[in-house]
């Protein structure tokens, strides 16, 4: 049986019979309305995101199969958290907070791509990704949330795959995100003041020594690079600190 595959990007839950899908499906002789409806059903959880879709058509029977690719887990987490990016330094910065239901939702969406053998294993994988992004879970650092899952916390929700949140819970998350953003901005301002004080104190000293002092003061590297950028070599690359000087010819 000859098969034809059409690959495209659609807006989650909002595919239409217009370009690019309609013109591509037309010559295939399939029921375009049915294909669109099935795509929208399968991509409903990805509203607001571009989703890769494959429509595999049997050219003889006109039957079709739809497979949906998924964005990276980090992209889905950012969408759930309502943030554009994760923390620059996940160890010291926290940019948002997720409810366990949102973790379960992302785990369900990425089910085929995760290594976990059950809902608990997959949920912990997503929480681990939150850890690397500076995103908390249920008001606690992600590694603590993994400990809670191992101890049986949220067992019923994880087993049942609960993903719905109440209006009150959504309001709480929005308020928490605002608080975390304000705290992060305050911390950044304090680190900038500390970095500039070191820069002034060590005026005239070697740049690598200034940067070392800032690292010792536990100033995030992002701010160090802004206040005391690495010196550039002639070729445009940053000089490796401690690297030997070029030989004289």
Host H or E run for residue 248: none
| pLDDT value at 51 more than 90 | no
| pLDDT value at 247 more than 50 | no
pLDDT in tens, 88-140: 888 878 888 999 999 999 998 888 788 888 999 999 999 999 999 999 999 99
On whether the CB atoms of residues 230 and 207 are closer than 8 A, the answer is yes
| pLDDT value at 245 more than 50 | no
pTM score of the predicted model: 0.59
In the prediction, which pLDDT does 235 show? 53
- Please report, for residues 51, 76, 80, 117, 154, the alpha-carbon distance to residue 107 in angstroms, rounded to integers and kept in the order given: 17, 10, 12, 12, 15
d(CA 50, CA 34): 20
Number of H-type helices and E-type strands within the chain:
10, 5
pLDDT in tens, 137-164: 999 999 999 999 999 999 999 998 888 8
| pLDDT value at 87 more than 70 | yes
pLDDT in tens, 1-28: 588 899 988 888 899 998 888 888 888 8
The closest alpha carbon to 64, from 50, 74, 54, belongs to: 54
DSSP 243: P
In the prediction, which pLDDT does 234 show? 53
| pLDDT value at 82 more than 60 | yes
Give the residue carrying structure tokens 């976990």.
116
d(CA 126, CA 124): 5
Average pLDDT for 74-93: 87
Instruction: Give all domains of the chain, ordered by start, each with its CATH number.
Output: 3-68 (3.30.1550.10), 73-165 (1.10.10.250), 183-227 (no CATH)
pLDDT in tens, 185-232: 888 888 899 999 999 999 989 999 999 999 999 888 878 888 999 877
DSSP collapsed to 3 states, 55-83:
EEEECCCCCEEEEECCCCHHHHHHHHHCC
């Amino acid at each position: 049986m000859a098969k034809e595959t059409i690959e495209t990007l659609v807006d989650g839950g909002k595919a239409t019979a217009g370009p690019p899908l309609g013109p591509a499906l037309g010559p295939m002789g399939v029921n375009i309305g049915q294909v669109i409806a099935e795509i929208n059903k399968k991509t409903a959880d990805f509203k607001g995101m571009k989703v890769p879709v494959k429509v595999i058509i049997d050219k003889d029977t006109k039957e079709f199969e739809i497979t949906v690719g998924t964005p990276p887990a980090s992209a889905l987490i950012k969408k759930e958290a309502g943030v554009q990016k994760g923390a620059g330094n996940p160890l010291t910065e926290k940019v948002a907070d997720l409810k366990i239901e949102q973790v379960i939702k992302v785990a369900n969406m990425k089910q085929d791509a995760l290594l976990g053998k059950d809902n608990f294993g997959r949920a912990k994988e997503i929480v681990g990704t939150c850890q690397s992004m500076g995103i908390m879970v249920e008001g606690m650092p992600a590694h603590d949330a993994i400990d809670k899952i191992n101890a049986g916390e949220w067992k019923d929700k994880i087993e049942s795959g609960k993903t719905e949140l109440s209006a009150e819970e959504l309001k709480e998350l929005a308020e928490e995100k605002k608080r975390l953003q304000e705290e992060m901005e305050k911390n950044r301002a304090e680190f900038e003041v500390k970095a500039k004080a070191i820069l002034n104190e060590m005026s005239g000293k070697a740049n690598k020594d200034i940067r070392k002092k800032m690292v010792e003061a536990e100033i995030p590297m992002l701010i160090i690079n802004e206040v005391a950028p690495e010196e550039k070599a002639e070729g445009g690359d940053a000089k490796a600190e401690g690297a030997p000087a070029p030989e004289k010819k």
